[in-house]
Amino acid sequence: MEKPGRNRKAEIKIGLLGCGTIGSGVFHLAVKNKRAIEESAGRPVRVSKILVKDFDEPRPFPADESIMVTDPGGILEDPDIDIFVEVMGGIEPAKSFALRILNRGSNLVTANKDLIATFGPELIEAASKTGARFKFEASVGGGIPLIRPLEESLGGDNILKIMGIMNGTTNYILTRMSSEGITYEDALMEAQKLGYTESNPESDVAGTDAAHKTAILSSIAFKKGVTQDQVYREGIQSIRPEDLENARELGYSVKLLAITECDGGGIYARVHPTMIPLDHPLTSVSGNFNAVFVIGESVGELMFYGQGAGSLPTATAILGDVVNIAGELGTPLASNRDYWLRPADVRSIGDVMTKFYMVLKVVDRPGVLAKIAGVFGDNDVSLESVVQKGIGDSSEIVLITHVVRDENFRRAREGLENLEVVLEIPSVIRVEGETAASH
């Protein structure tokens, strides 16, 4: 019993496309955890060839130079490779390579969220036609098991809503702004110094990275093809330390959330700063961690938490996919996610039902509140709480609405901006997240 499977079954050969931060992590773990991987996969697994741009590029873990090639054809056309692992990132040449692999029925694992979120249907269709196995657990939530649990473990349930902290950089920035009272700009500089963000942080702070992951999770959860251009996004750049302080006083934290829900017909997919109750499980997710909160009709509330990025966590997810494919090799494909080819009815942000937090700077004069309340009333927006803070020129009104249609709130906001007594509307943040546990 000591070495089950050893030498009894043929070795699985991996072709690694890319050997940077994630790729060298995959090579490192494949060597270091060889025995554990073999036990999980039922067969030995080995990286047999690596495609690199340059033999000498810097990488966090050393890799075997004797198996490196720089000519894509030398690895893509190698008939001995059982599973390709694409960790180059970006759209091209990753997309062409992926299609070449899937179109001839070879198996592919990728961590490339941009590729899946943008060209998911095209890639799924290619895999479906040839029966290739195609997995991308690492594309969402780094090392956190998400896609397989949603597809298989919850395969007997209807998923209603997902709310996720899907971007570690913005969560780090908001955590620091909240705990230290510093500005967005200072917290961003800190994140950059710690290497948590790219030199151009735009994709993180504007919600683009999270929107890509939202498209992938929406497709998996609701069994329709959602692409990233269909996901509404709003970044964290205009969040002020005062908003985080107000939020805490009102019993909330502020997170950049990816939210997607399905009412049976339409899908509502969006990324924006969100106030959630302090006792919501997502509130305790701090620093650069990720977490995904799932509400299933039968299973109730679930949450998955962990490292959403980084070389080894992401490499672990990739090897999980490799183990999974290794166990299936040579067998007919059970399901090819054909549902991804069905177009999704993704609704506009105006149709979303949610609560809002709003701050208004107003002139301090009798009758102001009545005028403001009048505009809300005219647009069918009712208010849950209104607090006036300060007096005179620094007078601010902080309010939270009941659940309203986003479009109605937008019209009320326009009406307020046209009121003479309203000087400025410095903040608007959506409010979500009542949980079963909080009742």
User: Which parts of 60-99 interact with its own copies (CB under 8 A)?
Assistant: none
Stretch that binds its own copies, among 65-73, 192-200, 205-213, 280-288 (CB under 8 A): 280-288
Strands (E), 236-352: 252-262, 267-277, 289-296, 300-307
* Cβ 233 vs Cβ 270: under 8 Å: yes
User: Which parts of 216-275 interact with its own copies (CB under 8 A)?
Assistant: 223
* Cβ 308 vs Cβ 289: under 8 Å: yes
Tell me how far, at minimum, the Cβ of 377 lies from its own copies, in Å. 38
For residues 170, 176, 181, 184, the Cα torsion angle rounded to the nearest 10 degrees is -30
Strand pairing category for 134-135 and 300-307 = unpaired
Q: Which of 20, 42, 89, 426 binds its own copies (CB under 8 A)?
A: 42
Is 91 in a helix, a strand, or coil? coil
Q: What share of the chain is helix, strand, coil (3-state, %, to 5)?
A: 40, 25, 35
- The catalytically annotated residue of 113, 135, 213, 255 is 213
| Tokens coding 200 | 């151009």
In this complex, which beta carbon is closest to its own copies, that of residue 85 or of residue 352? 85
Helix residue spans in 111-201 (DSSP H): 113-130, 147-148, 168-180, 184-193
* Cβ 17 vs Cβ 84: under 8 Å: yes
Q: Does the footprint of its own copies cover residue 15 (CB under 8 A)?
A: no
Stretch that binds its own copies, among 12-20, 102-110, 291-299, 399-407 (CB under 8 A): 291-299
User: Which parts of 337-396 interact with its own copies (CB under 8 A)?
Assistant: 338-339, 341-342
Nearest to 133, CA basis, from 328, 376, 278: 328
Count the residues of the shown chain that bind its own copies, applying the rule CB under 8 A. Answer: 77
What's the full length of the chain, in residues? 439
Q: Does the footprint of its own copies cover residue 127 (CB under 8 A)?
A: no
213 is catalytic: yes
In this complex, which beta carbon is closest to its own copies, that of residue 243 or of residue 321? 321
Q: Which of 15, 44, 277, 296 binds its own copies (CB under 8 A)?
A: 296
Nearest to 353, CA basis, from 403, 278, 398, 297: 403
Q: Does the footprint of its own copies cover residue 411 (CB under 8 A)?
A: no
Q: Which of 164, 168, 281, 433 binds its own copies (CB under 8 A)?
A: 281
**Binding-residue pattern over the window 157 to 186 for its own copies, x denoting contact by CB under 8 A:** xx----------------------------
Q: Which of 108, 205, 275, 285 binds its own copies (CB under 8 A)?
A: 285
- Determine the residue type at 436: A
- The kind and range of the H/E element at 320 are helix 311-328
Tell me how far, at minimum, the Cβ of 302 lies from its own copies, in Å. 4
Q: Does the footprint of its own copies cover residue 156 (CB under 8 A)?
A: yes
Stretch that binds its own copies, among 15-23, 140-148, 364-372, 399-407 (CB under 8 A): 140-148
Tell me how far, at minimum, the Cβ of 131 lies from its own copies, in Å. 12
Q: What is the DSSP string of 45-114?
A: EEEEEEE-S-TT---SS---GGGEES-HHHHHT-TT-SEEEE---SSTTHHHHHHHHHHTT-EEEE--HH
Q: Does the footprint of its own copies cover residue 320 (CB under 8 A)?
A: yes
Q: Does the footprint of its own copies cover residue 36 (CB under 8 A)?
A: yes
Task: Name the residues annotated as catalytic.
Answer: 213
